[in-house]
Amino acid sequence: MEIKEKIIEKLLLLVALSSITILGLITFFIFEEGIPLILKIGPRAFILGQRWVPSQGSYGILPMIVSSFWVTFGALALGIPLGLACTIFLCEWTPPAVAMILRPAIHLLAAIPSVIYGFWGLVVLVPLVRNYLGGPGLSILSGSLILGFMILPTIISISEDSLKALPPTYRQGALALGATHWQTIWRVLIPAARSGIVASIILGMGRALGETMAMIMVLGNAVKMPSSFLDSARTLTTNIGIEMGYASGDHRQALFATGIILFLIIMILNFLAIFVSRRRVD
């Protein structure tokens, strides 16, 4: 038995190391391809530049960075409250028979290809935004609404697991002290499950920042600094997805450099979110 356990341990270690190695190779490849362009035109000109015209040698990605944040935080503004409300409903008020139907339906949302979300947004959501709110319809608002629904399965599933993992004594103690059901949920259960809820939000934020196909279809892909949620925009990911197929030379390196900035943004946001969650828990 000891020999079998050691073999299994080594195999699991090998799998873990292989995953880390693959991630390291991908990171190395992206940085190797993108760093030369950043050094060539300067980090300041690349990150803070507002003109993206590859044919003229202009590679400024600030409008796309701003657009990415607008779309992501718009999606979180919809996804966080709706996701937490669905989580609380599933954990605290849904009858078991109904929960058996709702949970698979929620998980099914994660299995729907992003192009289907984009097609639905293009056919249904974009005309509604254009007719009732104005603007071209292909806008940050449309992209935020679609992403808000796309990140729901991530937020709901992880938050639900966090709430279910809490000891029953938390709920029993609060109710014994005279707290109402809602006070128990809001004052005891959610703070106790905060780390898992924050983790779900982080993963949802990463999904929103990294989404490409659906955003290509509904954002309008205008390379300009957005001034409202009704403006068309282009995110970092959509820029790579649209232009990588025909880019070459400096243009191709600029797209890899865009990937580097996106990689760093996601890493920084993750570290900040983890730091804040740990600080509040402590």
Q: Write the pLDDT tens digit of every residue in 235-251.
A: 999 999 999 888 889 99
E-assigned strands of 87-153? none
Q: What is the reported pLDDT for 277? A: 63
pLDDT in tens, the chain (282 residues): 678 888 888 888 888 888 889 989 988 999 999 999 999 999 999 999 999 999 888 999 999 999 999 999 999 999 999 999 999 999 888 888 888 888 888 888 888 999 999 999 999 999 999 999 988 889 999 999 999 999 999 999 989 988 988 998 998 899 888 888 899 999 999 988 888 888 888 888 888 988 888 999 999 998 889 999 999 999 999 999 999 888 889 999 999 999 999 999 888 877 877 776 665 445
In this structure, the number of other CB atoms found within 10 A of the CB of residue 68 comes to 25
Residue with tokens 């990689």: 263
Q: What is the reported pLDDT for 276? A: 63
List of long-range contacts for 34-42, beta carbons under 8 Å, 24+ apart: 34/253, 34/254, 34/255, 34/256, 34/257, 34/258, 34/259, 34/260, 35/257, 35/260, 36/253, 37/250, 37/253, 37/254, 37/256, 37/257, 38/257, 38/260, 40/250
Name residue 180's beta-bridge partners.
none
Let me know: does 207 contact 200? Beta carbons within 8 Å. Answer: no
pTM for this structure? Answer: 0.88
Q: How far apart (Å, rounded) are the C-alpha atoms in residues 100 and 86?
A: 14
Amino acid 107 reads H
Q: How far apart (Å, rounded) are the C-alpha atoms in residues 211 and 203?
A: 12
Amino acid 254 reads A
Q: How far apart (Å, rounded) are the C-alpha atoms in residues 250 and 1?
A: 58
Q: What is the reported pLDDT for 68? A: 94
Amino acid 214 reads A
Amino acid 189 reads L
Instruction: Please state the domain extents for the chain.
Output: 64-250
Q: What share of the chain is helix, strand, coil (3-state, %, to 5)?
A: 80, 0, 20
Structure tokens at 224: 């300009």
- Domain 64-250: CATH superfamily is MetI-like (1.10.3720.10)
Residue 88 CA to its chain's centroid (Å): 21
Instruction: Report angle CA 189, 80, 23 to the nearest 5 degrees.
Output: 100
- Residue 167 has φ and ψ, to the nearest 5°, of -65, 140
- pLDDT one-digit tens code per residue, 77-132: 999 999 999 999 998 888 888 888 888 888 888 889 999 999 999 999 999 999 99
Length of the chain: 282
Category of 225 on φ-ψ map: left (φ > 0), alpha (ψ -120 to 50) or beta: beta
Structure tokens at 177: 């002290």
